[in-house]
Structure 1
């Protein structure tokens, strides 16, 4: 019955004359109160009340009938209050608990037993309980978009089967626990928008060999980037923006093998459970000047974002060999040097932001061949020379090139000196060409007049008989025209009388 806007109107005392094991009423209208009739169902194994317009508390009796559940989703409602201190699900086949996108408050339950994906995107407060390691079979843990604080517990590193960890958009402090080195199955790590600090640990290079997405955006990490991030051969997304990172961009980034492939794996269906339930992976990507959430199309995202740090050194030419790269953002750093002509090798590039650096030289003409490029920002640098305004480059406005005082040419208002010289030379050539045309025009008219008068004269002067015949013919024509005029005049005069 899911996804059909079905509205169930029954009395509060209604008792269903049946028992169900599988109940999927997602996107049906069941609220605003939590359905009391559910209390009679003793055999539930699958329950989906997501997006069901429920805006009350979860009654205590619900936890007494939920111990056999294999799937539970109460997401995208307006459920309120606190979750119980202990969530005990005895079923060994429990696939997923989803309480996300509600109005729950208070701490995370300190005791959660089971091996299943857990999603809590609410207003939960407090710290992450150290007892989280009780979920030894946990594959996905999503505690993003809450108000959690404190340090990440070391016990989290004991979840050795964990594949996806979302702790983003909280108020977590401290350094990454060294126990994370044990998370060898991890494929997604999203710790963005917290207050984490310290250096990006070098053990990431060897511990997370299966990592596909690494997002440490908007924290307080400092120091140099690890030299061997290239060991993350499965990495598709590297987002370290808005930190305090320093030093050069490692040249070894060229060895990120997954980014050098034009076809990428299907991230959307990475996480499956034994009973057919699936966790839908998601990721917020900042690109093209806006925040975009990717779910079903996440497999299309291949991105490097190192923006808003204190990185220096020359533009890493090796990065142009990552032909599968879709988004590249190195803006708001101190990068020097020139954009290499080999940038055209990034044939799938959709967004390129190199603004607010110290790049110089000319913009390579090869950029006009980047046919998928939909967003370009080269503003506030030291580029010079004429903009190669051809091909794909003609789709960008002056905003993409603003703040480069030595740049010229379309689409900027400032014209290049060689353009003015070319225009003056062209005008001079046109003037010269026009002068030649005028001279030949008048000369041809004069010659035609002379030939038209003199040639007949000489011919008639030499041939006397031709001359007499010619003038006799002219006399006849003149006499005939005078006769016709007299006849016409006589007729008109007679009509007037």
Structure 2
């Protein structure tokens, strides 16, 4: 029956009473199941109705004849109230009621009825109230209550717990002082405050730590030394201190997001040893100094965000070493492997002027480099044009100079390009018009000049973003309504030839004028001298006159 993926109707009232396992999951069933359909199944231990549209409507007074060990009702319609008939299911080991429309508080018998359960999943409902206070005595190993409306403090956790997802709730207060040997902690998007408890040092097998979007502060305990952690997401908190030193030993790290905190100091050189990193987000902190050259050793990197820090110096050379940004396969294909239903969509990317969020799988398709709002100097390395998978490039708000790489048009995947507020000069490369996927462009407030390249893509972009060329007084062309003046050849030739007047010709002319002036002065003072010099001048006049005329005529002939 598991092969009947398009099954729409089924009468289960005729099922044999000896049935142990009922698996109808992943079908198109949309019937209503009542107590009558299940009352004769005395030996039922396993039921799976997940990924159907079944409506389970059972009155609260019903006492089921079976004792379930596992039950999965994911995406069935069971709410709004928590099913009272489950109170009798004290032998249950695994229960999945995610996305079933539950609302209201967890029942008072929650911790006692499910005390033997190893996995409980109530993800993506509307459950309110606080978590049970007696959870410490439960045998739970995996608890998923993310995307609900829970509030209050997190109580002491079960000692055997390895996976915990309480993300997207309204939980507040500090983290519990007892953090057992967890392998996955997903608590993002709450109001949790305080510091990281030292009990986290017990989590030697921790693989995923997601505390983003809370109010946590301070530094990590020095004893924290996870062996094989692959995902550390701490963005949008109040963490302080230098770049966390425990990360130097996390050579299996794939996701690292420390953005929007108060970390400071220089980026460590050993960051280039984290060669498995695919996401590196350190934006909106207080890091200073240069970008370590070894950062280009991280060949798996597909998302680099160092925006809004105090980073200075030149951009990294050898950008072609980012091979995952250069090919068709992004990253190294190592997404953290966990069983949490949570979609970790708290990794942000500023693109197209907006701060967008992506989950683990989506971020691998969003190849980006964001170095904006720093103090970078020097030119844009030509090697950046080797990153053919790049979709978003933001270098705005720096002190970059030189020209825009001439081969920028090779980046055919580019969707967003922001080079605004720099000191870039020269002309806009004509290859820019080849970027057919480009939907956001900002070149404003640079020293660019010359004709703006034409093309349907750039013309439509200008219509949507008419300020993308602002602050470049030397630019001209149809989009700006400013004609590009091109002097005529004859005018340019005369202008150039005037600058080629030889000093010899100028000397002859000036000498002739000076001689005339001397003769004139002498004639004014002495009659005898006037007669002598007049005769000398008369004899030399013809020769000097001919020399001046010939020299000037030769100059005019050569230049006109």
| Bin of the TM-score, shorter chain as denominator length | 0.7 to 0.9
Check the 8 A contact 2:371/2:396 in 1, yes or no.
yes
Q: How does 1:266-305 map to 2 (within 5 A)?
A: 270-273=335-338, 280-282=343-345, 283-295=347-359, 296-305=361-370
Question: Which residue of 2 is the match for residue 242 of structure 1?
Answer: 308
Counterparts in 2 of 1:186 and 1:11: CA distance versus 1, 3 Å = closer
- Whose relative contact order is higher, 1 or 2, with alpha carbons under 8 Å and at least 6 apart? 1
Which residue in 1 is equivalent to 2:146?
75
The aligned counterpart of 1:403 is 471
Q: How does 1:131-150 map to 2 (within 5 A)?
A: 131-150=199-218
> How much does 1:388 deviate?
0.6
Deviation at 1:36, TM superposition (A): 3.0
The CA deviation at 1:240 is 0.2
SS of 1:165's partner is strand
Find the partner of 2:261 among 194, 205, 214.
194
Q: TM-score normalised to the size of structure 2?
A: 0.69
- Aligned equivalents of 2:214, 2:415: Cα separation in 1: 32
With over 3 angstroms needed to count, the CA separation of the structure-2 counterparts of 1:11 and 1:74, relative to structure 1, is closer
Query: Cα–Cα, structure 1 residues 89 and 279, in superposed 2: closer, same or farther, change >3 Å?
Result: farther
Q: Which SS does the other structure have where 2:151 is aligned? A: coil
Report the CA distance between 1:210 and its aligned residue.
0.9
The number of equivalent residue pairs is 409
> What is the correspondence of 1:297-376 to structure 2 with a 5 Å cutoff?
297-376=362-441
- The gaps in structure 2 that reach 5 residues or longer are 1-72, 489-560
Matched ranges for 1:42-81 at <5 A: 42-65=115-138, 67=139, 69-81=140-152
* Residue range with higher mean Cα deviation, 232-241 or 279-288: 279-288
What is the Cα deviation at residue 401 of structure 1?
Answer: 1.3
Q: Which residue number in structure 2 is paired with residue 491 of structure 1?
A: none
**Contact between 2:165 and 2:342, CA under 8 Å: does it hold in 1?**
no
Structure 1: which 5+ runs fail to align?
422-497
Going from structure 1 to structure 2, the CA distance change for 1:21 and 1:404 (only over 3 Å counts) comes to: same
Change (3 A) 1:294 1:20: same
CA positional deviation for 1:61: 3.1
Partner of 2:288: 222
Q: Which residue of 1 aligns with 2:98?
A: 26
Shift of the alpha carbon at 1:313? 0.7
CA shift in 2, pair 1:22/1:203, >3 Å = same
Q: 1:298 to 1:177 in 2, by over 3 A?
A: closer
- Higher alpha-carbon deviation: 385-394 or 345-354: 385-394
What is the rounded CA distance, in whole Å, between the counterparts of 1:70 and 1:202 in structure 2?
39
CA distance in 1, matches of 2:482, 2:136: 71
Q: 1:75-224, aligned counterparts within 5 Å?
A: 75-84=146-155, 86-90=156-160, 94=162, 96-121=163-188, 122-156=190-224, 158-206=225-273, 208-224=274-290
Q: How far did 1:311 drift?
A: 0.6
How many angstroms does 1:316 deviate by? 1.5
Residue of structure 1 in register with 2:534 after alignment: none
Query: C-alpha separation between the residues in 1 aligned to 2:320 and 2:107?
Result: 56
Matched, 1:393 2:464: no
Residues 10, 197 of structure 1: alpha-carbon distance in 2 compared, 3 angstrom cutoff: closer
Quickly say closer, same or farther: Cα 1:131–1:20, change in 2 above 3 A: closer
Q: Deviations over 1:408-452 (max 9, x none)?
A: 11222323225x99xxxxxxxxxxxxxxxxxxxxxxxxxxxxxxx
Distance 2:238 2:469 in 1: 37
Question: Counterpart of 2:164 in 1: which secondary structure?
Answer: strand
Query: Aligned to 1:399, what secondary structure does the other structure show?
Result: coil
Deviations 1:206-239 (A, max 9, x none): 2x11111110000000011111211111111110
Secondary structure at 1:32's aligned position in 2?
strand
| Aligned residues of 2:418 and 2:443 also touching (Cα < 8 A) | yes
> Following the alignment from structure 1 to structure 2, what is the Cα–Cα distance between the partners of residues 277 and 334?
44
Instruction: Classify 1:18/1:136 alpha carbon distance in 2 versus 1 (closer, same or farther; 3 Å).
Output: closer
Q: CA deviation at 1:394?
A: 2.3
Aligned match for 1:260, one of 310, 314, 326: 326
Q: Deviations over 1:335-378 (max 9, x none)?
A: 11111211122121111100011111111111111122111111
TM-score, normalised on structure 1? 0.77
Aligned to 1:488: none
Larger Rg: 1
C-alpha RMSD over aligned residues = 2.3
Deviations 1:267-319 (A, max 9, x none): 6x71224xx55664432111110011112422211111000001111122111
- Alpha carbons of structure 1 residues 4 and 344: separation in structure 2 relative to 1, 3 Å: same
Counterpart contact for 1:88–1:114, Cα < 8 Å = no
Q: Could you tell me how far apart the structure 2 residues matched to 1:328 and 1:357 are?
A: 14
